[in-house]
Structure 1
Amino acid sequence: MSNKYHFPAGNTMLQSLAGSFKLIKDPIGYLSIEMEKFSGTYSGFMPDKGRVIVTQNSDFVNYVLRENHTNYKKAKLDTDVVAKQLGTSLLFVNRDDWRRQRRLIQPAFHHASIHKLYETVISTINTQIANFPQGEQIDVYPLMRKLSFSVLINSLFNIDMSSQMTDELFRAFVELQAFMTKDVLQPFRRLLYPLTGEEKKLIKQWDGIRDMLRGIVALRRADETGHNDLLDMLLNARYEDTGQGMSEEQLISELLILLFAGHETTGSTLSWLLYLIASNHQVYEKLMSTIEKTDMLDSPRDSYINAIINEGMRLYPSVWINERVALQDDQFGGFSFPAGTSILTYIYGMHRSESYWENASAFNPERFLTPEGVIDKNIKNYFPFGAGPRMCVGNNFAMAEMAFVLHAIFKTFHISTTGATPKEWPLLTLRPHEVILEIKKR
């Protein structure tokens, strides 16, 4: 590497190799130690990327994701490994393709559009929680994940879908996540796919899922009745330059990623929130007081409920680390690096840094409120949905859904802890591993 570049201080290739075993075993623990050692930004080496930069510095993160975002693209992991199964949806494309697709899809997720879905979302939530097990200790993560999936299914396809079809779709996404997680953490497994047939089996399963979605889309195209759902909005969307709609394959890819990313991230966040609220008596009591005087339909507009959700996402951001690749040589804060350098923005570390947050490890929703008790719009160093133009397109929908779920669950059930602390599972997203809580009907 030419001496003309000035990377941050960090680890040598040998040190990085030695640390890689710790990184795989305990990513958050390892990165937290490195961040403290190198004051929030360091460089290291990765076998498939060369020299990389890892940072939780808020200004650096903001520079990469917002200020100079045009010089950065999504990482190869996102665009190749994951997109191989889900297709080239908005989440994975870069530059002009992304900009064109974003303009097409974004109107479906504006506040005015998602308000039309509220009745469907609320009905689905109430139906799901009516079937929750009661009076026992249970891992709530599978419940929250299935609930979030059902909300998305009904919001996308406002039709009478059989429970068998819904369960088949849900199982397919669970299996896909398990496969992709192993694919990312153990890339050497790819060499064995021709022998094991594992990938071939998955591809066959997903061909069947795509055929199922094509059938739903075909029926919808032939039906002139409005269904007031996301599929209608996506089918009616038109590109600005051609006036044409999405191709069928593009539409299928967008539906797949909405189902995959939407239910997994929301399900994880809701699981963390239930644990955090149940563990904090003061927050629990204030939430109950809020719910008693707030109609469920109004919960997405309630400042305290939003503050609780924001604080939960600060402590446990689903997208706990982001990767961007520099398209041209760049520099920031005295550092300089060449095109092709991967920048890993460590969102989890930034959200828990004492440099940015007082008593950073504490669950304190009040930090997101002004003295007048309304949501503080000027909070910095906070990126739960990403940042800049590539911020999650479904953030408004996710926030509303989580507000509805919290209102419904705590109005219906008493949730208490069991003494078990959930383990963090930082995979493609930050998942909880076993959130054991006790659920009792009020």
Structure 2
Amino acid sequence: MPGKGRVIVTQDSSFVNYVLRENHTNYQKAKLDTDVVAKQLGTSLLFVNGDDWRRQRRLIQPAFHHNSIQQLYETVMNTVNAYIANFPQGAQVDVYPLMRELSFSVLLNSLFNIDMSREMTDELCRGFINLQDFMAKDVLQPFRRFLYPVTGAEKNLVKQWDGIRDMLRGIIAQRRADETTHNDLLAMLLNSRYEDTGQGMSEEQLISELLILLFAGHETTGSTLSWLLYLIASNHQVCEKLICTIEKTDMLDSPRDSYINAIINEGMRLYPAVWINERVAIKDDQFGGFSFPAATSILTYIYGMHRCEAYWEDASTFNPERFLKSEGLIDKNVKNYLPFGAGPRMCVGNNFAMAEMAFVLYTIFKTFHISTTGAPPAAWPLLTLRPREVILNIKKI
């Protein structure tokens, strides 16, 4: 491929497992294809490699441990309830921008449990939307880069993101000067210390981590929730069983409910937010009788693996039961299923995302009757697998 050299695309489960787990030390994350976006996000945990990644992962991991995020449940539930209370009703409602906005609100409140002005939240939201749009165009239409000096697109984006960084810098300074105890992710990250030095993150590193949590977290969860609403509304049997489950379950317990988790898992199987992963070989390697040199890009096609008939019976069918054991408990050992990646670089926020989606599904289907309009959403495979729009009919119960 021009600009990339040798590329292997695979949905072979054994090879994917080899790259992401068994021989992961020989594979590193690829650089972002867009230099402008890389300048904004490139020093965060998601994009660094080697010793820098290991050091940063050990620092951040405890904040996303299952026991740690349970402390945020009240914040997440309050945010979800407040948003759903003003949820639009009627025919032909596009739920994708709503789910993206809700997910962004959940992350903002979980990161900064403070009273943030509407102007600040709007500025942050616009910044991330503009960054995503810029990234899509920059990758898909690289010729546009020659026009940046004329259009000012790059200059305007950098200026906007400088403002966002200044905003976060102010929040951090205010928090450090505040002796009050806060129960949010910012407090957890501020209190984290590197094992080797006993020091905390620098301000710039902290800002980079906050930005990537907002950027990656709200887009992936917002997209997945949109796909889930469509899938559930399209399957009467699943919808009825979910409603019966909700009637017997408390909201706080919804992240632990087997059937709710099975629904989320099946939705992520069919529409994994991270639909493709890229790793680059550090040294020459071989697998299954094939050899390839260093610098080869390995594209692990998660979407294809999740829908491969060799791995899944009736692979294109939405069937949450496939994630349940015979006694109705969630099966945690399902093979060929990697919605959050695999190996040491598995998504650090998976527990948080699962809990958030459980709270959202619980609240929406406890409050509304949702039906499809007959129009299936079109998939838009960018950095994440985004639906172009998800049009549903929404009526209060």
Equivalent of 1:378, from 333, 336, 340? 333
Q: In the alignment, does 2:177 pair up with 1:225?
A: no
Relative to structure 2, which stretch is displaced further, 275-284 or 189-198?
Answer: 189-198
Tell me how far 1:81 sits from its aligned partner. 5.3
Q: 2:38, 2:357 → 1: CA distance?
A: 27
- Report the Cα distance in structure 2 between the residues aligned to 1:235 and 1:144, rounded to whole angstroms: 29
- Letter of the 2:224 partner, please give it: T
How many residues in Structure 1 have an aligned counterpart in Structure 2?
A: 397
2:378 to 408, 417, 423: 423
CA drift of 1:77 comes to: 2.1
What residue identity is the alignment partner of 1:348?
Y
Q: Shift of the alpha carbon at 1:354?
A: 0.1
**Are 1:72 and 2:56 matched, yes or no?**
no
What SS is found at the alignment partner of 1:92?
Answer: coil
Q: 1:150 aligns with which of 101, 105, 109?
A: 105
Where does the alignment leave 5 or more consecutive residues of structure 1 unmatched? 1-45
Equivalent in the alignment of 1:300: 255
Residue 124 of structure 1 is matched in structure 2 by 79
What is the distance in 2 between the residues matched to 1:417 and 1:66? 39
Letter in 2 for 1:373: G
**In 1, Cα distance between equivalents of 2:110 and 2:17:** 33
Please point out which of 224, 237, 257 is paired with 1:269.
Answer: 224
Deviation at 1:186, TM superposition (A): 1.4
Asked if the contact 1:324/1:343 (under 8 Å) is kept, the reply is: yes
The TM-score, its normalising length taken from structure 1, stands at 0.89
Give 3-state SS (helix, strand or coil) of 2:59's partner: helix
Could you say which residue in structure 2 is the equivalent of 1:348?
Answer: 303
Residue of 313, 332, 337 corresponding to 2:287: 332
Contact 2:42 2:48 in 1 (8 A): no
Higher RCO (Cα < 8 Å, 6 or more apart): 2
**CA offsets per residue over residues 282-305 of structure 1, 9 Å max, x none?**
000000000000000000000000
Q: 1:113 aligns with which of 61, 68, 86?
A: 68
Identity %: 85
Q: Secondary structure at the match of 2:333?
A: coil
1:163 is displaced (CA, Å) by 1.6
Report the CA distance between 1:80 and its aligned residue.
Answer: 4.7
Aligned to 1:314: 269
Change (3 A) 1:263 1:188: same
Tell me the CA shift for residue 136 of structure 1: 2.8
Aligned-partner SS, 1:363: coil
Aligned to 1:204: 159
Give CA-to-partner distance per residue, 1:228-274, whole Å, 9 cap, x none: 00000000000000000000000000000000000000000000000
Q: Flag the 1:81–1:318 CA change in 2: closer, same or farther, 3 A.
A: farther
Q: Which moved more, 1:135-144 or 1:276-285?
A: 135-144
Amino acid of the residue matched to residue 68 of structure 1?
A: N
Q: Is the CA contact 1:415–1:437 (under 8 Å) kept in the aligned structure 2?
A: yes
Give the partner amino acid of 1:273. Answer: L
Check whether the contact 1:79–1:92 (CA below 8 A) recurs between aligned residues.
no
Q: Which residue of 1 aligns with 2:195?
A: 240
Deviation of 1:167 after TM superposition, in Å, equals 1.2
* Residues 78 and 92 in structure 1, CA contact (< 8 A), matched pair in contact too: no
Q: Which residue of 1 aligns with 2:170?
A: 215
2:278 maps to what in 1? 323
Asked if 1:180 is matched to 2:124, the reply is: no
TM-score in terms of structure 2 length: 0.99
Q: Determine whether 1:359 maps to 2:293.
A: no
1:373 offset after TM fit, Å?
A: 0.5
Q: What's 1:12 paired with?
A: none
Alpha carbons 2:274, 2:340 under 8 Å: kept: yes
Partner of 2:11: 56
SS for the counterpart of 2:6 is strand
Shift of 1:84: 1.6
List gaps (5 residues or longer) in structure 2.
none
3-state DSSP of counterpart to 1:356: coil
Tell me if structure 2 keeps the 8 A contact 1:417–1:437.
yes
Q: Return the alpha-carbon distance in structure 1 between the equivalents of residues 175 and 105 of structure 2.
A: 19
Distance 1:261 1:232, change over 3 A: same
- Cα contact 1:135–1:440 (8 A) shared by 2: yes
AA aligned to 2:369 is H
C-alpha distance after superposition, 1:117-149 (max 9, x if no partner): 000000000001111111232100000000000
> What SS does the corresponding residue of 1:416 show, helix, strand or coil?
strand
Q: CA RMSD, aligned part only?
A: 0.9
Deviations 1:34-67 (A, max 9, x none): xxxxxxxxxxxx1011221100000000100111
Q: Which secondary structure does the structure 1 equivalent of 2:56 belong to? A: helix
Per the TM alignment, residue 227 of structure 1 is displaced from its structure 2 partner at its CA by 1.1
